[in-house]
């Protein structure tokens, strides 16, 4: 049984979350009447030796596989074209299916290939990272351009998301924690506050040692994202709230040459946004409490001293989400109540200096 149904204007599709689902892909395809005359599984060189054959062996049609080198660099034009060529050579048709088996990188790359091959064919997201609980929902798929991340892409939903939580056991703890930052983000922006109270204050072991608990919090996270996306698929309005912590987060990622993983940078961005929110709205939101919790979880919570503030601010400006010369930040008017606020460069500089002294 599907754990969640995502409804969008164009279509609705199921999300399955459970243990060992990689062995059940054929049953899931049949149950959802997803036809396919052949399959192309796209994955990376870390995931392939662990799970590729488990997925492939259950399928009842010719299976082709394409394995890219792991890492953000995989979302390249070169891979995009090479895989399209491979799909043409293997004679994939409009009825063929692409399976994205991997983290957010594979989801974005394989999803964009599916969106454009023969003007769009079906695809399934099989996330294998915690971060991908986020990226597999919402239909945003993209590759990178030399001038910036995710600049070439589409909005293209999968036919289903099949999340086998057993695969998370092999994910390095640092990657798990980076992905967990997005779970925290979903908790902080959720108006119903159905997630945050369950995770707040818990340590790493409490979060990751109980399968049922993990399943619960990941489905909650996906549900929160799905609700927001449902109301605003094309990011003209409230979908922006999903960028909470990301204005500074992206700047730290990029300015540190990706020494900080996405979630590690977003944690610093979120704690900064909480700080600014408290000052801007003159309201106690638990900044200290969250900072202490994030540190207990092993996250860094300060802006890295090695990264010059002026460079970070420049990066915050060139961020895709910035209009004109201002910086847009997502703040919290209250926990679970995100709002977009526009600041001048001078205002942000001031906040950054105050935050550093905090
Ligand atoms: N489309 C969206 O809405 C959206 C949202 C957020 C992030 N993203 C994108 O997601 C990407 C980041 O995703 P990610 O953090 O999952 O990174 P990733 O896909 O690079 O995976 C992280 C690392 O873990 C390895 N790995 C993956 N699954 C594993 C497993 N089960 N066991 C062992 N190793 C495993 C990978 O090979 C990789 O080295 C970025 O490119 C980002 O732009 C997209
Ligand atoms: Zn993110």
Q: Whose CA is nearest to atom 19 of ligand 1?
A: 103
User: SS3 letters for 158-216?
Assistant: CCEEEEEHHHHHHCCHHHHHHHHHHHHHHHHHCCCCCCHHHHCCCCHHHHHCCHHHHHH
pLDDT at res. 183: 97
For 63-112, the pLDDT digits (tens) are 999 999 999 999 999 999 999 999 999 999 999 999 999 999 999 999 99
For 223-280, the pLDDT digits (tens) are 999 999 888 777 778 889 999 999 999 999 999 999 999 999 999 999 999 999 999 9
pLDDT at res. 272: 98
List helix spans (H) across the chain.
25-31, 53-56, 77-89, 104-116, 132-135, 173-189, 196-199, 204-208, 211-231, 246-255, 262-281, 287-296, 309-318, 345-357
What lies within 8 Å, CB to CB, of 8 at 6+ separation is 139, 157, 229, 230, 233
Distance 111 CA to ligand 1 centre (A): 13
pLDDT at res. 10: 79
Mean of per-residue pLDDT scores for the chain: 94
Please say if the pLDDT value at position 322 is more than 60: no
Q: How confident is the model at residue 324 (pLDDT cuts 50, 70, 90)?
A: low
Mean pLDDT of 194-216: 94
Q: How far is CA 140 from CA 119, 125, 144, 293, in A?
A: 16, 12, 13, 31
- Strands 140-145 and 12-18 turn out to be unpaired
Side-chain half-sphere CA neighbours of 34 within 13 A: 27
Side-chain half-sphere CA neighbours of 309 within 13 A: 13
The neighbouring-strand residues paired with 161 are: 15, 125
Q: What is the pTM of this model?
A: 0.94
More confident residue, 296 or 325: 296
Percent of the chain with pLDDT over 70: 97
Q: Whose CA is nearest to atom 27 of ligand 1?
A: 103
Please say if the pLDDT value at position 165 is more than 90: yes
Angle at 277 between CA 273 and CA 281, to 5 degrees: 170
144/331 Cα distance (integer angstroms): 28
pLDDT at res. 358: 80
Burial of 275 (0-12, 13-18, 19+ CB in 10 A): buried
Q: Which residues does ligand 1 sit against, CB inside 6 Å?
A: 44, 46-47, 50, 70-72, 75, 102-106, 108, 128-129, 131-132, 134-135, 138, 140, 149-150, 167, 170-171, 175, 179, 262
Percent of the chain with pLDDT over 90: 87
pLDDT at res. 323: 54
pLDDT at res. 149: 85
pLDDT at res. 69: 98
Distance 323 CA to ligand 1 centre (A): 28
Distance 182 CA to ligand 2 centre (A): 6
Q: Atom of ligand 1 at shortest distance to CA of 50?
A: 32
pLDDT at res. 7: 87
């Amino acid at each position: 049984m599907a754990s969640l149904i995502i409804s969008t204007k164009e279509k609705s599709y199921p999300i399955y979350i459970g243990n060992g689902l990689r062995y059940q892909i054929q049953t899931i395809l049949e149950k959802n009447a997803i036809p396919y005359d052949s399959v192309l599984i796209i994955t990376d060189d870390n995931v392939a030796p662990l799970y590729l054959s488990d997925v492939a062996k259950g399928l009842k049609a010719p299976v082709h596989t394409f394995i890219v080198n792991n890492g953000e660099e995989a979302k390249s034009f070169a891979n995009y074209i090479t895989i399209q060529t491979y799909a043409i050579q293997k004679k994939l048709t409009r009825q063929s299916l692409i399976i994205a088996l991997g983290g957010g990188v594979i989801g974005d790359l394989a999803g964009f290939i599916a969106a454009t091959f023969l003007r769009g064919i079906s695809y399934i997201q099989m996330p294998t990272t915690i971060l991908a609980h986020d990226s597999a929902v919402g239909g945003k798929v993209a590759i990178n351009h030399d001038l910036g991340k995710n600049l070439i892409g589409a909005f293209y939903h999968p036919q289903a998301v099949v999340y086998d939580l057993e695969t998370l056991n092999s994910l390095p703890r640092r990657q798990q924690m980076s992905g967990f930052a997005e779970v925290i983000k979903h908790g902080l922006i959720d108006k119903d506050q159905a997630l945050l109270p369950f995770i707040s204050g818990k340590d790493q072991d409490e979060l990751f040692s109980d399968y049922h608990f993990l399943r619960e919090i990941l489905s909650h996270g996906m549900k929160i994202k799905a609700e927001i996306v449902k109301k605003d698929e094309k990011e003209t309005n409230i979908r922006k709230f999903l960028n909470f912590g990301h204005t500074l987060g992206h700047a730290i990622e990029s300015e540190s040459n990706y020494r900080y993983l996405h979630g590690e940078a977003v944690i610093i961005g979120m704690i900064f946004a909480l700080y600014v929110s408290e000052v801007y709205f003159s309201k106690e939101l638990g900044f200290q409490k969250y900072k202490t919790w994030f540190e207990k979880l092993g996250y860094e919570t300060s802006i890295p001293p090695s990264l010059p503030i002026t460079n970070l601010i420049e990066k915050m400006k060139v961020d895709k989400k910035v209009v004109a010369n201002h910086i847009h930040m997502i703040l919290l008017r209250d926990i679970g109540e995100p709002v977009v606020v526009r600041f001048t460069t001078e205002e942000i500089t001031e906040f950054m200096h105050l935050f550093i002294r905090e």
